[in-house]
């Protein structure tokens, strides 16, 4: 099997190493928008490209592995299938069911394999649990899958994980597919019962809870958390009718960061090769899981759209500022929320930059001034900042701590740089923070 790997970011090395270990497999080509990432392999003689269409046109691969940001999976996979090449695509197969179905149609149309790389189903502890579970799955009274981590410890690349347009959401679309596939591997097909999204900041959920039921009636709960302070928990707990409890910890015995991935990615490649050899077209749970994630977003958003999590917080302008700067050099702190007691004073800074990840630099800023919070509140990313006449200044992008503990700079993403002059502020005016 001659492989092409498209996208040489954080996860690609696990595939590259698995290809090296896999018999009768060679790395024929690589592709990344950034030529620096393909340079070392190109020197060793691997064909290197910056455009996957050129890689496909070179006709040197039997299969491609797609390790691109989520929003590019569909277009790259369809181009590969239409070029007559089998596809092993990272999860999630796509962001929308429409795209996942287009990918499946392309696989059928071309008679080529479309496979989703759900690595956890090859984890040795998951396999042991599957074997230990009673054959009669109705003896399982509850299955709980947990996927808890600090996303900031996992992201590579250019911050696309924290951009809902390119990622498709937050922890639900990122870790949900692996967690759902693990449940599927243990109890079979699933239907969604309900979903809740929590800790939503700038349209990205950091917590999600899903209730599902297997087609055999086993209740399944999936708990996702992107906001652990540090570390990770990836496990499954099966409660049985006789009162016993079986547990599989995906990370047990794998002490180094991501070290369980080595054997899991070997498993992906072996399974993919079997599917290609058997001439299967659309394989596994990839398309179904895109649908479940989509349903969970719809259910979770309907639920959170019905409820407000907090009252608007009123503030009073106590010192106005009138200047802008193009080179301020502020830095986004790691915090997505800040608790602010009544009576505290903080500074409001608008920016046309789009800082997302901790440490992102903020240069283009306009200063509104200092405000005193009239009631205690929790300010969160995505909160709207509105003037007394309801005009929108922008939404909270985060916090800069260069003057803390004196005060936070509350950084407001805006389409222009506002100052007290352009906002028409007078000392004592109201400015409100409203849940976004
Ligand atoms: N990082 C992980 O732990 C992990 C685990 C499991 C699955 N995944 C999945 O793997 C995929 C990639 O994730 P990642 O963490 O490696 O991301 P990444 O940002 O580290 O890598 C993506 C790479 O793709 C390149 N790229 C972007 N657009 C391109 C294009 N149009 N053509 C060619 N190259 C392009 C980027 O330059 C980058 O090098 C995602 O779907 C993710 O969900 C990641």
d(CA 195, CA 426) in angstroms, rounded, equals 45
**pLDDT the model gives residue 23:** 87
Q: Which run of H or E residues covers position 116?
A: strand 114-117
What count of Cα atoms within 13 Å lies in the side-chain half-sphere of residue 176? 35
Q: Choose one of 4, 8, 9, 34 to mutate for the ligand 1 pocket test, by most ligand atoms within 8 angstroms of C-beta.
A: 9
**pLDDT greater than 80 at residue 386:** yes
**Atom 15 in ligand 1: residue holding the nearest Cα:** 10
**pLDDT the model gives residue 350:** 98
Cα 12 to ligand 1 centroid, rounded to whole Å: 8
| 309: confidence class by pLDDT, cuts 50, 70, 90 | confident
Q: Which run of H or E residues covers position 193?
A: strand 190-201
Q: Which of 328, 372, 334, 335 is nearest to 350 (CA)?
A: 328
Ligand 1 pocket by C-beta < 6 Å: which residues?
6-12, 31-34, 37, 52, 67-70, 72, 90-91, 154, 156-157, 160
**pLDDT the model gives residue 79:** 98
Average pLDDT over residues 62-66: 98
Cα 62 to ligand 1 centroid, rounded to whole Å: 21
Query: What digits encode the pLDDT tens for the residues 126-172?
Result: 999 999 999 999 999 999 999 999 998 888 777 899 889 999 999 99
Q: Which residues pair with 373 in a beta bridge?
A: 315
**Atom 40 in ligand 1: residue holding the nearest Cα:** 69
**Atom 21 in ligand 1: residue holding the nearest Cα:** 9
> pTM of the full predicted structure?
0.86
Cα 157 to ligand 1 centroid, rounded to whole Å: 7
Query: What digits encode the pLDDT tens for the residues 317-326?
Result: 999 999 999 9
Q: Choose one of 4, 41, 67 to mutate for the ligand 1 pocket test, by most ligand atoms within 8 angstroms of C-beta.
A: 67
d(CA 254, CA 224) in angstroms, rounded, equals 21
Output the CA–CA distances (angstroms, integers) from residue 173 to 63, 91, 99, 189, in the order listed: 25, 9, 14, 18
Q: Which atom of ligand 1 is nearest to the CA of 73?
A: 41
* Domains detected in the chain: 2-119 (3.40.50.720), 122-255+286-306 (3.30.360.10), 313-434 (no CATH)
Q: Which of 66, 67, 80, 74 is nearest to 102 (CA)?
A: 74
Q: Which atom of ligand 1 is nearest to the CA of 117?
A: 7
Cα 352 to ligand 1 centroid, rounded to whole Å: 27
Cα 148 to ligand 1 centroid, rounded to whole Å: 20
Share of the chain above pLDDT 70, in %: 100
**Atom 44 in ligand 1: residue holding the nearest Cα:** 11
* Structure-token pair, residue 4: 């092409």
């Amino acid at each position: 099997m001659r492989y092409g790997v498209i996208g040489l970011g954080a996860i690609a090395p696990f595939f590259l190493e698995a290809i090296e270990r896999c018999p009768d497999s060679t790395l024929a080509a690589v592709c990344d928008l950034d030529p620096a990432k393909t340079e070392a392999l190109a020197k060793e003689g691997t064909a290197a490209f910056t455009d996957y269409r050129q890689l496909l046109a070179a006709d040197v691969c039997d299969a491609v592995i797609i390790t691109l940001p989520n929003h590019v999976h569909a277009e790259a996979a369809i181009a590969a299938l239409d070029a007559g090449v089998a596809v092993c695509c990272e999860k999630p197969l796509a962001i929308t069911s429409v795209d996942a179905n287009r990918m499946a149609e392309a696989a059928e149309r071309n008679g080529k394999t479309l496979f989703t790389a759900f690595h956890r189903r090859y984890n040795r502890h998951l396999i042991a649990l599957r074997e230990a579970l009673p054959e009669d799955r109705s003896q399982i009274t509850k299955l709980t899958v947990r996927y808890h981590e600090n996303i900031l410890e996992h992201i590579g690349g250019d911050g696309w994980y924290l951009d809902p347009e390119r990622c498709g959401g937050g922890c639900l679309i990122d870790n949900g597919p692996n967690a759902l596939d693990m449940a599927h591997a243990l109890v079979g097909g699933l239907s969604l019962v309900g979903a809740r999204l929590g800790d939503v900041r700038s349209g990205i959920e950091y917590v999600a809870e899903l209730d599902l039921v297997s087609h055999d009636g086993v209740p399944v709960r999936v708990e996702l958390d992107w906001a652990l302070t540090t570390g990770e928990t990836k496990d499954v707990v099966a409660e049985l009718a006789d009162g016993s409890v079986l547990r599989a910890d995906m990370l047990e015995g794998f002490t180094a960061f991501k070290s369980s991935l080595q054997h899991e990615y070997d498993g992906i490649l072996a399974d993919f090769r079997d599917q290609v050899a058997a001439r299967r077209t659309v394989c596994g749970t990839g398309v179904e899981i895109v649908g479940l994630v989509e349903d969970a977003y719809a259910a979770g958003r309907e639920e959170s759209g019905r409820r407000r999590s907090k009252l608007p917080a009123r503030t009073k302008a106590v010192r106005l500022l009138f200047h802008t700067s193009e080179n301020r050099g502020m830095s986004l702190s790691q915090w997505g929320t800040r608790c602010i007691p009544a009576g505290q004073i903080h500074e409001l800074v608008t920016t046309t930059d789009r800082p997302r990840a901790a440490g992102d630099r903020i240069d283009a800023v306009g200063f509104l001034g200092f405000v005193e919070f009239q009631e205690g509140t929790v300010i969160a990313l995505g909160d709207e900042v509105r003037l007394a006449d309801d005009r929108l200044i922008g939404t909270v992008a985060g916090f800069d701590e260069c003057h803390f503990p004196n005060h936070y700079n509350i950084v407001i993403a805006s389409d222009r740089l506002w100052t007290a002059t352009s906002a028409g502020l007078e000392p004592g005016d109201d400015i409100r923070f409203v849940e976004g």
